[in-house]
Structures are given as C-alpha cells and as structure tokens.
Chain A
Amino acid sequence: MSGRAELVRGVGLVKRFGGIVANDAVDFVVAEGDLLGLIGPNGSGKTTLINMLTGHLEPDGGDVLVRGQRMSGRPPNVYAAMGVARTFQQTQLFGRMTVLENMLVPGLARPHSTWDEVARRARRYLDFLSLSDVEQLPAKNLSGGQQKLLELGRCLMLEPAVLFLDEPFAGVHPRLRDKLLDRIRELHQGGRTFVVVDHDMESILRISRRLVVMARGSKIADGEPDAVRADQAVLAAYAGL
C-alpha cells in the first residue's frame, strides 16, 4: 500500500445492534488501486462494515475518513459525491424506472452534469455491461444477473474512486458471473479501486489482490490471498477447521 493514496479509512469502527456487537473496533483501509476481497462467515459483520464505510450506518464508535476527511454524521450522498460508490447485498434498483433512467440518476446527481453528456456516458456503460438492448425496460424486469450488472453500472455513473460491491455474485448465473468478473477486472486495470464482499471464495480469489477476513465482528486477517488462505486463524474461523 506504500506510496498509494488512501481513499477510505475506518478507524476503530464499532457498531452494536442491541446486545450484539456487529463490528468491534475494526480498522480498515482502502488505498488507490486496491482490488480487495472482504470475506467472512455469515454474521461476521462484513455488510455492517461496508454500511459504515459508505455512510449508510452511523458508527457507535470510531471514525470514517474519506481522502483524509472525517465523515461523521454525513449522509450517503456526500460519500457518493466524494467518489465512494456501493452496491447492495439484495440488489436495490429503481424497479419501475427504465434501465437508462437508473443510470441517469447518479449521473445527473453529479454537479455541473448535463442530460446530453450523462445520457451519452450511460449508454457507453450500458454497452460495456451488455445492457444496451434493454435500456428502455423497467429495471425490475431484468434477470438477477442483469440487475447486478445494472447496479454496477449505476455505481460507475458516479465515476467513483472506490466501489464497494456487496455480494455481487450471489445468485448470478455462472456465465453472467464470469462477465461480471471480467468487467471488474477490466475496470480495475483502468484504475478503479474495488472492495468485493462475497461468500463465493472461488470468485473472490480469482480477482483479489488483497484479502481481509472478518469473524465475529473483528478483522482477523489482512494480506496477500495466499498468505491469508494459509492462516490457521482464518481456516478455523472461516472454514470451521
């Protein structure tokens, strides 16, 4: 990570839901150019962590910094404006709006944007994601995999510095999953930074350059995928060995 600019940092993040500690003083750093896999068993606190890092949950303790700025109390749209984009575990599209309109929303939310320029960009990304043919269909009519692609496209319309993808491969047909993986890889090579959360270990390992493992609300490993995979604590917590 040395020499690369820090995009998002979580410092000692704590989140409790009643008596359950979902995140217990978690430190987390995403630097420019990362392609980071965030894994962990169900209930380990991955989504809670992403929710805090993208402004959708206010931490009970600790701080989130985006490009060095403290973000406490700021709404998610401010995070988005600062280049932090995200998808959701359960795909959250604007169901009754068309695919193109779904893309226009984030584009037009950017300051100084114009309809012409945003529509041009939207169509370029739809083409990149193989969704051009369905641009006038309501988003709810797309298949599960296409919806995941559209959600990624909607993120891209923000021209983000970092994208948090929450379970992007869940329930996606293997062929579409491969397409999604290819697109993520291409975008990463183009300079985008990714944090990918998924249970699909195989997919994560195919693309990740760095792996963070969570268990019971804490970060238990952070490093090169090969090293993390050999870590006994990870094997014990994640694979139940």
Chain B
Amino acid sequence: MRGLPIAIVLAAAALALANAGRLNPYWTHVAIIAMYYGILAASWSLLAGYVGLFSLSHMAFASIGGYTSALLIQWFRLPIPLGIVAGVVMCCALGGAIGWVCLRMSGPYLAIFTLGFSEIVRITISTEDEVTAGMAGLHTHSLLASATRLPYLYVAFALLALSLLLMGLLVRSRWGLFFRAIREDEQAAAASGVAVARCRIVAFAVASGFAGLAGGFYAHYIGIMTPSVGDLDEMAKLLVMTVIGGMERLPTAVGGAFVVEFLLEWLREYGQWRLPVFGIVLLLTMRFARNGLVTPFWLQFLRLGEARVSPLSAAPTVPDKESGT
C-alpha cells in the first residue's frame, strides 16, 4: 500500500479540478497564482533544499523567462508555447552560467553574488525601457483566448504537475542522491567520485529553467510584465513560502506556497500588517521547525497505508529493497 498517498493526492487533485468551476474568479486567480509560486518554490527547494545552494536570483530567472518569452513573441511572432520554451532555454543557459561562475561559492558569498545578479537584472529591465517598456510594463499576449480564468487554472495545474513530476524524477535518481551528498559535505562528495562542479551547474540550470517556465506562464496569464516580478520583495516572499513549507522536499515547498498565498489573500483586510506576521512565522519556523511547518503533516500523510514494520526496514529514498547480499 505504499502507493496509497499518491492515489489520495491524485484523487484529491481530480476532485479539486472537477469542482474548480465553483470557485469565484477572485479565488480562481488566487489558486492560479499559488500554482505559479508552487513551481517557483519547488524549483528553489531543488536548489536550496537539495543541493544547499542558497541562491537569491530565482525570481530574477522568473522575470527573465517572462520577458524573453514576451519579447520573442513580440519581435518574431512566435507561437506562445514556443516563446515560453525559449524563455526556459534562456533561463537554463543563464542559470548554468551563473552556476559555473559560482562554483567556488557557497553560503553568504553565493547569496550575495546571486542577490547582485538579481538586482542587475531588475535594474537593466527597468532602465532599458525602449526594449522592455521599463516600469510602465510590457504588455504580453494572452496564452488562451478565454474570457474566464478557469482554463488558466487547468494550464497552471498541468504545468505544476509536470514540473513536480520532472523534478521528482530528478531527485529520486542518482542525481538527487549526489545533490544531497553535496549539500551535506561537498568535499566528501568529491572524494566519493561525485562530479561536484557538473552537479552544481546542472542544479542551477534545471532550477532556473523551471523558474523561467513559471515566469513565462505568468507573463502570458497576467498580460503585463514589470520589473517588480524579479524584485527582492518577491524573492523574500518565495523564501518565506519555501521555508515555512519545508525546503528539503518538493511537495512541502509547494504546500508552503499554497498556504502562504492563500493566507495572504485571506488576511488582506489587515493590509501591510499581515506581512510582519509572516516574518515572525518565518523566524519561529527557523528556530523551532527547520524542516518547515508542512513537513510533519506531509510525513504523517506518507505513512498512511504503510504496514507496521520496523523503522529499519523502511527505506523511502533507496530504490533497492532487497534484504540481503
């Protein structure tokens, strides 16, 4: 019965999608934005949670993905999906390049470097208004010719599911094992034969690619791209979502994105005061629940359907289950 949690998730998703039409347009929009952040939170957790690369340029890549897609469509009249794919490719290439430049950096040095990159991107987009329309915002083509938001909800869900599937396959592969080994001890990983440089570059490229995908979708859903997509407030929001959810697992990071996004909207009547509340929750999470607030619930959920076996016999991250030699 190890597949029970997956079956429950799929059933719940199917039920939610079947009843999504009952949501009013406002909450439909909130759900779409939560899914956008869900892709970003999962991909940032791949980088920060799995590999231990605390990059602060993730929202900059969402911005690059969105602008690349929007501009290529405007200049070359590309089909929108092709524009989004081009944004993803651009982000993968740039992310890989950043990963290469940052090979010898970690911790605060990496955070400061990526923060600098993020600001360069934002200021460049703001300043080059002849190309990007600057602070006035770049109008983009709509992804769907639909008067309602519901089809966008389905597209957002499909992109989130696809992203989680691909990232899930990656983290369950030997690459995922290498990523975690690098996070634990880079020197020991190298001594164990792990090509640390290659892994770090791949992690940066893949995570940035998914950020670009989220940014591309956002650009063609909202209808306008502004430099604020990649600003530090957005990065802080993403960080809060991922940390509160639990940054060492993809589903908990997505859970954090949903919880924070929905709570932010639900508490909207409290205006700016809701933001310090999330800051305090972040501090308390870092102090008392470093694995995130969603993680305990997720782990409890994963135990559903598990036979009562000795903890030593459970091997959630090891594919081979043979008992002896």
Which positions 152-182 of chain A face chain B at CB distance < 8 Å?
154, 157-158
Q: Is A75 located at the chain interface by the 8 A CB criterion? A: yes
Q: Is the CB of B312 within 8 A of A94?
A: no
Q: How far is the CB of B134 from chain A (nearest CB, A)?
A: 43
A104 touches B325 (CB 8 A): no
Residue A32 at the B interface, CB < 8 A? Answer: no
Near B by CB (< 8 A), chain A positions 86-127 give 86, 88, 92-98, 100-101, 104-106, 108-110, 115-116, 118-120, 123-124, 127
> A91 — nearest CB in chain B belongs to which residue?
B188
The answer to whether A92 touches B315 (Cβ under 8 A) is no
7 sampled A-B residue pairs with Cβ under 8 A? A95-B185, A98-B315, A101-B177, A105-B189, A106-B193, A120-B322, A135-B312
Decide if B177 touches A76 in the complex (CB within 8 Å).
no
Scoring A55, A86, A92, A157 by chain B CB atoms within 10 A of each residue's CB, the highest score goes to A92
**Known pairs A75-B190, A77-B194. 16 more at Cβ < 8 A?**
A54-B191, A76-B187, A76-B191, A77-B195, A94-B184, A96-B184, A97-B177, A97-B184, A101-B318, A120-B325, A123-B325, A133-B312, A136-B311, A136-B312, A154-B188, A157-B192
Residues of chain B contacted by A115 (CB below 8 angstroms): 174, 319-320
Interface residues of B in 143-201 (CB under 8 A from A): 174, 177-178, 180-181, 184-185, 187-197
User: By the criterion CB–CB under 8 Å, are B193 and A104 in contact?
Assistant: no
Contact at B192–A119, with CB atoms within 8 Å?
A: no
Interface size band for A: 35 or more
Q: How far is the CB of B292 from chain A (nearest CB, A)?
A: 15
Per-residue 0/1 for A70-81: is the Cβ within 8 Å of any B Cβ (1 yes, 0 no)? 000001110011
Are A95 and B315 touching (Cβ within 8 A)?
A: no
Q: Which residue of chain A has the shortest Cβ distance to B185 in the bound complex?
A: A92
Q: How far is the CB of A96 from chain B (nearest CB, A)?
A: 6
The docked-state distance in angstroms from the alpha carbon of A157 to that of B181 is: 15
In the complex, A197 Cα to B180 Cα: how many Å? 29
In the complex, the answer to whether B322 meets A136 with C-beta atoms within 8 Å is no
With a cutoff of 8 Å between Cβ atoms, the chain B residues found around residue A98 in the complex are 315, 317-318
Chain A neighbourhood of B317, CB < 8 A = 98, 101
- Supposing A104-B318, A119-B318 touch, asked if A92 and B325 sit within 8 A by C-beta, the answer is no
Let me know if B24 is at the binding interface, CB within 8 A. no
Least CB distance from A181 to B in Å reads: 22
Given known A77-B196, A100-B315, A127-B325, contact A105–B181 (CB-CB < 8 A): yes
Decide yes or no whether B107 CB sits under 8 A from chain A: no
Measured between beta carbons, the chain A residues less than 8 angstroms from B197 are 75
> How far is it, in angstroms, between the C-alpha of A115 and the C-alpha of B181 when the chains are bound?
16
CB of A137, distance to nearest CB on chain B (Å): 8
CB within 8 Å for A76 and B190 given contacts A94-B184, A120-B325, A136-B313: yes
* Residue of A whose beta carbon sits closest to that of B323: A123
Q: Are A97 and B195 in contact (CB under 8 A)?
A: no
- For the complex, is A209 an interface residue (Cβ under 8 Å from B)? no
- The CA of A95 and the CA of B52, in the complex, are separated in Å by 14
Residues in B with CB closer than 8 Å to A88 are 187-188, 191
With A95-B184, A136-B311, A136-B314 in contact, do A116 and B320 touch (Cβ < 8 Å)?
A: yes
Bound-complex Cα distance A116 to B312 (A): 19
Name the distance in Å between B248's Cβ and chain A's nearest Cβ. 9
Interface centre among A105, A116, A158 (most CB of B within 10 A): A105
Taking a contact as CB atoms under 8 Å apart, the answer to whether B184 and A80 are in contact is: no
Residues in chain B near residue A105, CB distance under 8 A? 177-178, 181, 189, 192-194
A208 to chain B, nearest CB (A): 23
Question: Quick one: closest A residue to B184, CB to CB?
Answer: A94
A211 interface residue (CB < 8 Å to B): no
- How far does the Cβ of B321 sit from chain A's closest Cβ, in whole Å? 9
A98-B315, A109-B178, A123-B325 known; A92-B193 Cβ under 8 A: no
Contacting pair B192 A80 (CB below 8 A): yes
Nearest 7 A/B pairs, CB to CB: A109-B193, A119-B320, A80-B193, A94-B184, A106-B192, A76-B190, A92-B188
Distance of A171 from chain B, by nearest CB (Å): 18
Give every chain B residue within 8 A of A158 (Cβ-Cβ).
Answer: 192-193
Question: In whole angstroms, what is the CA distance A88 to B192 when docked?
Answer: 12
Return chain A residues, CB-CB under 8 Å to B192: 77, 80, 105-106, 109, 154, 157-158
> Is the C-beta of B271 less than 8 angstroms from some C-beta in chain A?
no
**Distance to closest chain B CB from A192 (angstroms):** 17
Q: Are A108 and B174 in contact (CB under 8 A)?
A: yes
Say yes or no: is B324 at the interface (Cβ < 8 Å to chain A).
yes
> In the complex, what residue of chain B is closest to A108 when comparing beta carbons?
B174
B190 CB contact (under 8 Å) in A80, A100, A135: A80
